[in-house]
Structure 1
Amino acid sequence: MAAEAAPFKVSSLNGKVALVTGASSGIGASTSILFAKLGAKLALNGRDMENLTKTAKQCKVAGQSEPLLVPGDLMDEDTAKKTIEKTVDHYGRLDVLINSAGILVMGSIETTDMEQYDRVMNTNVRSVYHLTHLAVPHLVNSKGCIVNVSSVNGQRSFPGVLAYCMSKSAIDQFTRCTALELASKQFLEKCKETHALGRPGEVDEVA
Structure 2
Amino acid sequence: MNRKLEGKIALITGGSRGIGAAIAKRLASDGAKVAITYSKGVDAAAAVVKEIEREGGKAIAIQADAIDAEAAKAAVEKSVATFGKLDVLVNNAGTAIPKTFEETTLEEMDRVLDINVRGVFIATQAALKHMKSGGRVIMIGSSVGERVLVPGLAAYSATKGAVK
Please tell me whether the aligned partners of residues 154 and 167 of structure 1 are also in contact (alpha carbons under 8 angstroms): no
Higher alpha-carbon Rg: 1
Please tell me whether the aligned partners of residues 14 and 37 of structure 2 are also in contact (alpha carbons under 8 angstroms): yes
Listed as ranges, the gaps of 5+ residues in structure 1 are: 1-9, 173-207
Please tell me whether the aligned partners of residues 22 and 45 of structure 1 are also in contact (alpha carbons under 8 angstroms): yes
Of residues 138, 142, 145 in structure 1, which corresponds to 2:136? 145
2:87 corresponds to 1:95: yes
Structure 1 consecutive aligned stretches of length 4 or more whose deviation exceeds 3 Å: none
Evaluate the alpha carbon distance shift between residue 24 and residue 108 of structure 1 in structure 2; reply closer, same or farther with a 3 A threshold. Answer: same
2:47 corresponds to 1:54: yes
Root-mean-square deviation (Å)? 1.5
Deviation at 1:11, TM superposition (A): 6.7
Deviation at 1:65, TM superposition (A): 3.1
Deviation at 1:136, TM superposition (A): 1.1
Q: Which has the higher helix share?
A: 1
Of residues 164, 171, 175 in structure 1, which corresponds to 2:163? 171
Please tell me whether the aligned partners of residues 28 and 101 of structure 1 are also in contact (alpha carbons under 8 angstroms): yes
SS in structure 2 of the partner of residue 12 of structure 1: coil
Pairs within 5 Å for 1:104-123? 104-123=96-115
1:13 aligns to what? 5
Matched residue type, 2:135: G
Matched residue type, 2:5: L
Evaluate the alpha carbon distance shift between residue 21 and residue 171 of structure 1 in structure 2; reply closer, same or farther with a 3 A threshold. Answer: same
Q: Which has the higher strand share?
A: 2
CA distance in 1, matches of 2:145, 2:92: 15
Matched residue type, 2:51: Q
Please tell me whether the aligned partners of residues 38 and 45 of structure 2 are also in contact (alpha carbons under 8 angstroms): yes
The alignment covers a number of residue pairs equal to 161
Deviation at 1:160, TM superposition (A): 2.4
CA distance in 2, matches of 1:45, 1:60: 16
Which of the pair has the greater relative contact order for Cα pairs under 8 Å at 6+ separation?
2
Of residues 107, 115, 124 in structure 1, which corresponds to 2:116? 124
1:39 aligns to what? 31
TM-score scaled by structure 1? 0.74
Deviation at 1:118, TM superposition (A): 1.0
User: Among the aligned pairs, what percent are the same residue?
Assistant: 35
TM-score scaled by structure 2? 0.92
